[in-house]
Amino acid sequence: MSILLKVLVVIGIVIVLIIFLKLSKKNPKRYYKKAMKMHKKGEEYHNLGDRELAEEYYQDADYYRNKARELEDVV
């Protein structure tokens, strides 16, 4: 392998690692997005008349909101 190819492979690996770390990092924004999705699902099931499932989604939304708030307090 030529040196240029080796350098490109190393750069590619570093870029993949940086992307992976960015996506796996815990941040409040990600938790708020999850909370919003759970809340919307809860609303859908509430409108369909399934109050038990809706309540579970609302509880999940509260969990993710609280996690986001905890991370905001740490930062």
Per-residue pLDDT of the chain (75 residues; tens, 9 = 90+): 788 999 999 999 999 998 888 777 778 888 999 999 999 999 999 999 999 999 999 999 999 999 999 988 875
Q: CA 25 from chain center: how many Å?
A: 9
Whether the pTM exceeds 0.75: the reply is: no
CA distance 46 to 43: 5
For residue 40, give its domain range.
Answer: 3-74
Q: How many domains does the chain have?
A: 1
- Residues 33, 7: contact at Cβ < 8 Å? no
